[in-house]
Structure 1
Amino acid sequence: MTDDTTGQDCAPPRRAPAGAAVLREEVTVAIRAAVFAELAAVGYGRMSIEGIARRAGVGKAAVYRRWRSKLPLVLDMVSDVAADGLPVPDTGSLYGDVRALLDVSARALSHPVAAQIIPDLLAEAARSPELAAALRTALHDTQGGIAAAVVRQAAARGELPATTDPRLALDLLAGPLYWRLAVLRTPFTPADLDALTTAVVAALRAPE
């Protein structure tokens, strides 16, 4: 038997005869989608297991069988985002790699759900060390790995010194995007991204 039923719980769930209940993948997928939708709609502070279950079309027990509360649930979602990450561009030039990465990142940050969720989670992270650590992985460590790969590729092509600091590359790439898209809520045009790419490349090539 499976553990999940649609709608609100009317009675305590029956135990699976073999011990642990079977967790249906489609129910897990629906709950995960509902978490993102709830975060975007009401924010972390007002998000509840009841609201997630209602949006997913399942009973609360289906959520609690997977996560004991909303914090580990959100931590799991953030970890998934970190695991997926963004692709490392390999266009054959530093300018092309930076431009491709800025384009993908700008589109991701401009997504309506991301635009609602990321600022809210960053504010909540000030009150939750666990959430702060998970966000560091999702928003810093993963992006940092991509920036490091771009720097390594450019150094191998002779476009950058081998001593170029990947952390500087990450700051130059992520800072303007977050400021414009998450703080000012002002979109980037293709011309804006071209100009930013030129500025990032020039800054990385500047002598130390």
Structure 2
Amino acid sequence: MTTSKRPPAGAAVLRPEITAAVTAALLQELSEVGFGRLSIERVARRAGVTKSAVYRRWDSKLDMVLELVTSALEQNIALPDTGTLHGDVRLVVTLVGRALTHPLAAKIVPDLLAEAARNPRVHQTLHDVIRSYQHKTSDLLVNRAIARGELPTGTDPDLVTDLLVGPVYWRTAVMRGSGEPAYLDQLASAIISAVAPGH
């Protein structure tokens, strides 16, 4: 006979709908006031919960933000096999462009990167989770292309990642431009020319 697990007597039960409300409120607050002016009190008020409900989940606003960022970036985003290197590259730059131009991300990402320059813990967390996600994506893309004969064995996935993300970040997050289809087609072709000149 099996028995269901119950939380220890006196332990707080974390209701998922409250966690979801707090997370949504945090995103809105981050986009509006930035990390520097972010407060547990403001997040709780926007979420319609008490401050103690937030503190039961996180010890500080930094813990709250870092867990949110880590969770978002560690989600496995499927990268369909388009069948060609150009198609895969075009898909990745499109996804990166969409992510960076999302109304919330467009405000939150630059703010957190600025905070990372001042806060070693923020810097280390962002570095670890971003590089982990990038490695997974670029390894998959590069290995597929090598198997198709479109890239030579030994192609550096880190170089491919830099070429995929760097130009899109510069255009959308820094210059506040758009990732129109013609530009993304051009960019995909330029990246392939750089990593596979004979292709």
Task: Identify the TM-score tier after normalising by the shorter chain.
Answer: over 0.9
Alignment gaps of 5+ in structure 1: 1-15
The answer to whether the 8 Å contact 2:100/2:173 transfers is yes
Aligned residue pairs, count: 192
Aligned residue number for residue 3 of structure 1: none
Aligned residue number for residue 151 of structure 1: 142
Shift of 1:206: 2.7
Against the structure 1 CA distance between its residues 85 and 177, is the aligned structure 2 distance closer, same or farther, given a 3 Å change threshold? farther
Shift of 1:17: 8.9
Instruction: Give, in whole Å, the separation in 1 of the partners of 2:23 and 2:178.
Output: 28
Instruction: Give, in whole Å, the separation in 2 of the partners of 1:36 and 1:104.
Output: 20
TM-score between both structures, scaled by the size of structure 1: 0.88
Q: Any idea what SS the aligned residue of 1:126 has?
A: helix
Asked whether 1:204 is paired with 2:195, we answer yes
Instruction: Give, in whole Å, the separation in 2 of the partners of 1:133 and 1:88.
Output: 26
Instruction: Give, in whole Å, the separation in 2 of the partners of 1:139 and 1:182.
Output: 16
Asked whether 1:186 is paired with 2:177, we answer yes
Corresponding residue to 2:84 among 93, 104, 116 = 93
Runs of 4+ in structure 1 deviating by more than 6 angstroms, as ranges, are: none
Residue identity opposite 2:160 in structure 1: A
Residue identity opposite 2:59 in structure 1: R
Residue identity opposite 1:192 in structure 2: Y
Alignment gaps of 5+ in structure 2: 1-6
Shift of 1:147: 1.0
TM-score between both structures, scaled by the size of structure 2: 0.92
Shift of 1:78: 1.0
Aligned residue number for residue 7 of structure 1: none
The answer to whether the 8 Å contact 1:82/1:137 transfers is no
Corresponding residue to 1:161 among 144, 152, 161 = 152
Percent of paired sites with the same residue: 52
Instruction: Give, in whole Å, the separation in 1 of the partners of 2:14 and 2:64.
Output: 15
Aligned residue number for residue 38 of structure 2: 47
Deviations 1:81-108, CA, capped at 9 Å, x for gaps: 1211432231111000001111111111
Aligned residue number for residue 105 of structure 2: 114
Instruction: Give, in whole Å, the separation in 1 of the partners of 2:147 and 2:191.
Output: 18
| Worse-superposed segment, 186-195 or 141-150 | 141-150
Q: Any idea what SS the aligned residue of 2:58 has?
A: coil
Instruction: Give, in whole Å, the separation in 2 of the partners of 1:85 and 1:130.
Output: 24
| Worse-superposed segment, 155-164 or 86-95 | 86-95
Residue identity opposite 1:169 in structure 2: V
